[in-house]
Amino acid sequence: MPLLSDAPVVVTGACGLVGRHVVAELRSRGYPVVATDLGTRANRDHAAALHHDSDLLWRWCDLTVPEQTAGLVKASVPRAVVHLAGVIPPLCYSNPGLAEKVNVGATQVLVDAIAAHAPQARLVHASSIGTYGPRNPHRDLGLLTADTPQQPEEVYGLTKLRAEELVRGASTPWVVLRLGGVMTTDVGAQMSTDNIFFEGALPADGRLQTVDVRDVARAFGAAIGADCVGEILLIGGDETHRRRYADISHALAGAMGLEDGIPPGRPGNPDDDTAWFATDWMDTDRAQEVLDFQRITWPALLEEVRTASGWMFYGYRVAAPVVRIGLARLSPYRGQPGEYADPWRVIAERWPASFTS
């Protein structure tokens, strides 16, 4: 491996949405970085398109293969490892075996490699508020905290909880960051029929604390050296990011020019605590105290989306009625009786393997 100016930070999942921003954030802080991901054509093209940086090295690695991961850690001699690689919704529902292999298996392999070859390195692990399980906002549950009981009931929350337990049981220094709803101003980049279906399945009045991906990157950058070893920190935006699902989708669509382009969703059943998604509002005070990462408010994020839309804003305004019809046809509840959302039923119907494996 070529010489770097100092002990690097290894970043796994470096080509993902969060990974790309974390790599950039770490370099802006002066940390040399060894960025790793699967060596797919798309990932290699992304790395090749970046400007030359002698303190940014790319190493293609399948973290589920112990020999590859051990070789990566041993050669890097890192000061820290930021572990972002994972399988998230809705992909984890269509391929739960992959979610198990990556979210749990790769984490175990990485923990073992660090213990064997870089026991001084701090492991900063990306977890999720999905580990808490369904959250009915009609109950007086309060804000999520690091001590809120974790009761996941589906493949994503279960695999992320098991991964978190592996990290917390490690013999080496660790920090766990439980992420809220990570947002980007590049809204279109996250659109797919599976994502549209999945988001349409969620109760419209469910609660989510969003956070701009750049603030997430700031949190990971700060966690490398902050006095927080052995802590679990909740990463969400400031209080302006405490939203309901319907508000999030309508506000983002409106910022793009698709005012009234989103058909109404179904509310959740206030009397059924299981028929909700695993998100809620969060107490981020401790995380903000030690990481000082919150910069971008919800209104500021929306304004950036509006600016990024450019002239397309006006085209989207014209297209909004057609978009509304198209999205209504993709709704998981189209033609179905009832007034309440039933997310786990429709997810199981679309991706049966997620509840049978």
134: domain CATH number?
3.40.50.720
> So what's the pLDDT on residue 355?
66
In the chain, % of residues over pLDDT 90: 84
Q: Establish if 324 belongs to a structural domain.
A: no
Q: Establish if 272 belongs to a structural domain.
A: no
Q: In angstroms, what CA-CA distances link 347 with 196, 240, 268, 351, 355? A: 12, 30, 15, 6, 9
| Number of domains forming the structure of the chain | 1
Q: Establish if 295 belongs to a structural domain.
A: no
pTM of the model: 0.95
> So what's the pLDDT on residue 316?
85
> So what's the pLDDT on residue 327?
86
Is it the case that residue 191 has pLDDT exceeding 80?
Answer: no
Digit-coded pLDDT (tens) for 85-126: 999 999 999 999 999 999 999 999 999 999 999 999 999 999
What span, in angstroms and rounded, lies between the C-alpha atoms of 142 and 269?
19
What residue ranges in the chain does DSSP mark as E strands? 9-12, 33-37, 56-60, 80-83, 122-128, 174-179, 181-183, 207-212, 232-235, 242-244
Digit-coded pLDDT (tens) for 143-160: 999 999 999 999 999 999
| Banded model confidence at residue 3, pLDDT cuts 50, 70, 90 | low
> So what's the pLDDT on residue 312?
87
Q: Establish if 339 belongs to a structural domain.
A: no
Q: Establish if 46 belongs to a structural domain.
A: yes
Q: Establish if 337 belongs to a structural domain.
A: no
Q: Establish if 55 belongs to a structural domain.
A: yes
> So what's the pLDDT on residue 320?
87
Digit-coded pLDDT (tens) for 294-348: 999 999 999 999 999 999 888 888 888 888 888 888 899 998 999 999 999 999 9
Give me the domain span that covers residue 45: 9-187+211-240
Q: Establish if 352 belongs to a structural domain.
A: no
